[in-house]
Amino acid sequence: MATSDAQLVIMRIPLTILSSLLALCQLPVWANANETPQAEERSRLSASKMSTGPLSDNAQSMLQILHLQPLIDRATDARKRRDTAVPGSLDALSARQDLLEARQELGQLLLKSNLEVDYVIAAIDGEENRYTEQISEMMSRRDKAVWYTTILSQWSNGILWSASSSFTLGSVQNPRLSYTDGILGILAGALPTVLSLYAMHQTHGEKRDALVAPNMLSPIFDRTSTEEFFPRSVISYMNGASDNQSGSVSRKQVLVDRWYKNGYLNSGKNSAQLVGTLTATESRKRALTIALLQNRQQMLEDLRTQAMQMKHSLLELMKLADPLYGA
């Protein structure tokens, strides 16, 4: 009985060894001895997260303006080294530190650029609000003046025609009164006509002296130092090529061409004076009108829209950097 049990144990030994060998054959072979299954999984997820669609031309331009590509490469490399290193090892700690530093620099640059765009938008909004107040005041004064002229026209017409009619009745007994009647009749027709024409002229509003107070449009026409109004990142963005234009046409030039097309600017002999008035870099007598202030507002709104497109490009870059901030 003891002999049969011993034979049974001896027969099971090859089966056990064979099962162990089969199990070893099913284990994965790691390219790096320091890698673990958990590290390989984190590396795979990281690579899948970094797969992003193509950036727009504006976003590519911002990538170059802010010099973000070296930071993104640093962070990506540090993350790969961290994911493939043995947890808790010196290599893992060093890679984690490099990743944190690259993340911090990248986040600070994106935040700084976003705040610079916010500053430009806030400055444009402030100028638009100031011009809105001026336009409202001038329009109120204009409407009041037109109202007074219209009332005077109507009253003069009624009074003169009443007086003319009274002299018409008196001319039956005294023919000499017909001359006075005719004169009053002429005035009754002429004076309201003149006042109506004057009211039409008043609809343009008053003309004020244009004072020197450079606005956010002045750097676009190189009338003032650009750095006084726009941060460096916004300047570089405006001087870069537009998304749907050839490489030789900057975003700034696209704006100027649009303003010529919309009639805010002209190419006549007084074009330089007009630019000086629009940008408030030249002092001119009786040059500030409601129409000119409205043109300023619309041009500032176009400039604001261009700045908002820069924020959209920053959003694309933030989405590109999102995988670097994962676990």
Tens digit of each residue's pLDDT (9 = 90 or more) over 130-167: 999 999 999 999 999 999 999 999 898 888 888 888 87
User: Has residue 29 got a pLDDT over 60?
Assistant: no
* Residues 6+ positions from 3 with CB-CB distance below 8 Å: none
**Residue 327, pLDDT score:** 52
Least confident of 72-81, 236-245, 297-306: 236-245
Q: Which amino acid is at 322?
A: D
Please say whether the beta carbons of 256 and 267 come within 8 A.
no
188 inside domain: no
Q: Which has the closest alpha carbon to 203: 264, 131, 145, 259?
A: 145
Highest mean pLDDT among 31-40, 88-97, 193-202: 193-202
**Mean of per-residue pLDDT scores for the chain:** 80
Q: Name the region of 283 (left: φ>0; alpha: ψ -120 to 50; beta: rest).
A: beta
Which residue matches tokens 């109507």? 154
Instruction: Flag whether the pTM goes above 0.85.
Output: no
Any domain includes 160: no
Task: Say whether pLDDT at 256 is over 70.
Answer: yes
Residue 175 lies in a domain: no
Report yes or no on 53 lying in a domain: no
C-alpha span between 275 and 269 (Å, rounded): 12
Range from 20-24, 54-58, 111-115, 249-253 carrying the lowest mean pLDDT:
20-24
Interatomic CA distance for residues 269 and 286, integer angstroms: 19
On whether the CB atoms of residues 99 and 82 are closer than 8 A, the answer is yes
- Residue 216 belongs to a domain: yes
Residue 103 lies in a domain: no
Q: Is 191 left (phi over 0), alpha (psi -120 to 50) or beta?
A: alpha
Could you tell me the residue range of the domain that residue 314 belongs to?
119-138+208-319
pLDDT of 188 above 60: yes
Helix (H) or strand (E) segment spanning residue 6 = helix 2-26
CA distance 296 to 217: 8
Answer whether residue 157 is part of any domain: no
> Is the predicted pLDDT of residue 231 greater than 50, yes or no?
yes
Most confident of 22-26, 119-123, 156-160: 119-123
Lowest-pLDDT range, 88-97, 250-259, 297-306? Answer: 88-97
Which is nearest to 272 in space by CA: 281, 263, 259?
281
Alpha-carbon torsion 84, 87, 91, 96, what sign? Answer: positive
CB 242 within 8 A of CB 254: yes
Domain count of the fold of the chain: 1
Rounded distance, CA 242 to CA 317, Å?
Answer: 17
With a CB cutoff of 8 Å and minimum separation 6, the contacts of 204 are 142, 289, 290, 291
Would you say residue 50 lies in a domain? no
Tell me the percentage of the chain whose pLDDT exceeds 90. Answer: 32
